Amino acid sequence: MGLDMEVHVSGRPEGCSGCIPPEPEPNNTEMVEIYITLRHTKILQAVLLVDIKNAEKSHKV
């Protein structure tokens, strides 16, 4: 479920910090919180992307 977030986060157009994200699934409130946080702080976005990449590496082993 966490890797689904990667698709939405990295799939956004570059330089589009003010864009409205795609509508999340009805029961996925977690996705909404992540979008709101990413739109308001670039630092958290960088940390989140790094954590996702690290998680990918550990899962591929």
Instruction: Kindly list the averaged pLDDT for each block of 10 residues, start to end, along the chain of length 61.
Output: 45 52 55 58 61 66 51
Compute the distance between CA of residue 61 and CA of residue 46 in angstroms, rounded to an integer: 24
Residue 12's pLDDT is: 47
27: exposed, middle or buried (Cβ count in 10 Å: 0-12, 13-18, 19+): exposed
Please answer whether residues 52 and 13 qualify as being in contact, where contact means their C-beta atoms are separated by less than 8 angstroms.
no
Q: Report yes or no on 37 lying in a domain.
A: yes
Residue 3's pLDDT is: 44
Q: Report yes or no on 49 lying in a domain.
A: yes
Q: Report yes or no on 48 lying in a domain.
A: yes
Model's pTM, two decimal places? 0.19
Q: Report yes or no on 14 lying in a domain.
A: no
Q: Report yes or no on 16 lying in a domain.
A: no
Helix (H) or strand (E) run with residue 45 in it? helix 42-60
The domain in which residue 52 lies consists of 2-9+23-60
Q: Total domain count for the chain? A: 1
Residue 5's pLDDT is: 45
Residue 19's pLDDT is: 56
Residue 47's pLDDT is: 62
Please answer whether residues 9 and 2 qualify as being in contact, where contact means their C-beta atoms are separated by less than 8 angstroms.
no
